[in-house]
Amino acid sequence: TGEVGQPLTLLISHRDKYDNLVLAASIDSLASYSVKTSGPSQVAWEVVNVGDGSAEVRLVGKRAGQYQVSVLQHGVPLLGSPLAASLVAAPPSEATCLTSLTGAVFEDASTLVT
């Protein structure tokens, strides 16, 4: 679960058949990874090399709701992909909120509250 407008991070790690972490020298080429999503809005994404043989997929959605996320390498879905992700609405912020009043009729300016 993540918050709208904030990065939701998924970890990609390489493991051997015994579930031991394999320290990939270059985590292949980051360009070999791609992300496909479906949900209420488009999702921006990037893949970042963490430096320990793993990589992070960082996703940022613009609308709250349920998403399906597929992480692929060379066009092939990674184990555990697709997965469900949920984004919740960010709490309101005075800096980004816009308040408007529509349909009000004032007969006298003294009735306005300041």
Note the pLDDT tens digit of each residue in 11-59. Answer: 888 778 888 877 764 555 777 889 999 999 999 999 988 877 788 999 9
- pTM higher than 0.85, yes or no? no
pLDDT band at 113 (very low <50, low <70, confident <90, very high): low
Region 58-84: mean pLDDT is: 92
pLDDT above 90 as % of the chain = 34
- pLDDT attached to residue 35: 93
Q: What are phi and psi of 27, to 5 degrees?
A: 45, 45
Contact between 57 and 43 (Cβ < 8 Å): no
Distance of alpha carbon 69 from the chain centroid: 9
